[in-house]
Amino acid sequence: MPGFGNYPTPVNELAALSRPGSALWIKHDDLTHPIYGGNKVRKIGRLLDDARRRGKDTIVTVGAIGSHHVLTTGIFGKSVGLSIEAVVVAQPRTEHVLENLRADLAQGVSLFPASSYVHAAFVLASRIVHGAYYIPAGGSNRIGALGYVDAAGELAAQVRDGALPEPDLLVVALGSGGTAAGLAAGLAREGLRTRVLAVTVAEPPGFVERAALALAAQCVERGLRRDARARLEVTRSYLGDGYGYATEAGARAMSAAQSVGVTLDSTYTAKAFAGALDCVAAGRAKTILYWHTLSSAPMAPLLVGAPAESALDARLLKLAKAPRK
Ligand SMILES: *Cc1c(COP(=O)(O)O)cnc(C)c1O
């Protein structure tokens, strides 16, 4: 299998947060890789492989200024000797966002600030004309999402081996869509009964949701397309003020997770975990699997050689917006 990381990632029950008749489990994709984990690792392996097969030496991608995908591309692209460029757009400022930005620079990623996604498209086009291999936001095209078709196969093997009961419901954050789409497609292919509840965290939600459904259909053979789409359910209930803005439900989910030793971020995983906790509280399914997508690898090694916050380029810093009040 092409790619990076250590698989299968572990699963365990979060017994302290389960209820009678509704067990909460976690799949630890925070542990996909010891240097930098999270869900972008499964996608980037296939994408970088494709770039190298096509003889490319430069990658261009796009994301918010604190993007996990841009950082993942920087780390793993560098490890195979590729030059990485990223066009970056604004998102609300958090400590986590600034740390990711500084880590990008420490990996040698060339960052091109853009004032909007429309502006970003122009900058991207000019880099692609120069011969760079294009990876979309979040690494979410069919090639990247196939990493999550594989992940569903990995889950099916864990169910067969008795590592966990067959989940009725899988809950995961929905950003650029590759993770949820790949999982829905992979579960259809495996013939598990597991449905996917994708918690929208990105905007505009209607676009994000349609893109995920279309991508799920692209990831399987013709006969399974309807099944892949049908098992992907999307909810906007946890989005709050929008991408990157913390919510109260997310803050409660963060402290619940902390009580069982799981760290969440406010942009993605807190919102998804809030959705999973509500499903448990409502007794929505017997076995609920929360898919944990945030890297738990220590950041310090990735920040060696990073510029101090005070030394950051003003145009980049401006993209980390003050939170809305
Ligand atoms: C990118 C990301 C997601 C969303 O995954 P997509 O495949 O983009 O939908 C979820 N959680 C974290 C921590 C992420 O960085």
Q: How far is the CA of 20 from the centre of ligand 1 (A)?
A: 30
pLDDT digits (tens, 9 = 90+) for 284-303: 999 999 999 999 999 999 99
Residue 323 has pLDDT above 90, yes or no: no
Closest approach atom of ligand 1 to CA 268: 11
pLDDT digits (tens, 9 = 90+) for 140-163: 999 999 999 999 999 999 999 999
Average pLDDT over residues 301-323: 94
Closest approach atom of ligand 1 to CA 43: 7
Nearest in space to 111 (alpha carbons), one of 321, 323, 322, 314: 314
pLDDT digits (tens, 9 = 90+) for 98-145: 999 999 999 999 999 999 889 999 999 999 999 999 999 999 999 999
Closest approach atom of ligand 1 to CA 144: 7
Give the residues across from 112 on adjacent strands: 87
pLDDT digits (tens, 9 = 90+) for 164-209: 999 999 999 999 999 999 999 999 999 999 999 999 999 999 999 9
The confidence score (pLDDT) of residue 193 equals 97
Report whether residue 179 contacts ligand 1, using a CB cutoff of 6 Å.
Answer: yes
Q: What DSSP string runs through 235-298?
A: E-TT-TTSTT---HHHHHHHHHHHHTT----TTTHHHHHHHHHHHHHTT--SEEEEEE-S--S-
Report whether residue 173 contacts ligand 1, using a CB cutoff of 6 Å.
Answer: yes
Report whether residue 139 contacts ligand 1, using a CB cutoff of 6 Å.
Answer: no
Residue 3 has pLDDT above 90, yes or no: no
Report whether residue 174 contacts ligand 1, using a CB cutoff of 6 Å.
Answer: yes
pLDDT digits (tens, 9 = 90+) for 237-275: 999 999 999 999 999 999 999 999 999 999 999 999 999
Q: How far is the CA of 268 from the centre of ligand 1 (A)?
A: 7
Residue 1 has pLDDT above 90, yes or no: no
Q: How far is the CA of 23 from the centre of ligand 1 (A)?
A: 24
The confidence score (pLDDT) of residue 325 equals 54
Q: How far is the CA of 180 from the centre of ligand 1 (A)?
A: 9
Nearest in space to 76 (alpha carbons), one of 310, 302, 317, 270: 302
Closest approach atom of ligand 1 to CA 137: 8
Report whether residue 68 contacts ligand 1, using a CB cutoff of 6 Å.
Answer: yes
Residue 308 has pLDDT above 60, yes or no: yes
Place of tokens 């060696």: 304
Nearest in space to 64 (alpha carbons), one of 93, 34, 22: 93
Pocket test for ligand 1, best of 40, 196, 215, 239 (most atoms within 8 A of CB): 40
Average pLDDT, the chain: 96
Residue 310 has pLDDT above 70, yes or no: yes
Closest approach atom of ligand 1 to CA 265: 13
Cis ω before 204 (30° cut-off from 0): yes
Assess contact for 170 and 82: CB atoms under 8 A. Answer: no
Buried/exposed code over 143-182 (b: 16+ C-beta within 10 A; e: otherwise): bbbbbbbbbbbbbbebbeeeebeebbbbbbbbbbbbbbbb
Q: What is the distance between the alpha carbons of residues 3 and 75, in angstroms, rounded to a whole number?
A: 13
Report whether residue 250 contacts ligand 1, using a CB cutoff of 6 Å.
Answer: no
pLDDT digits (tens, 9 = 90+) for 73-99: 999 999 999 999 999 999 999 999 999
The confidence score (pLDDT) of residue 324 equals 62
Closest approach atom of ligand 1 to CA 179: 7
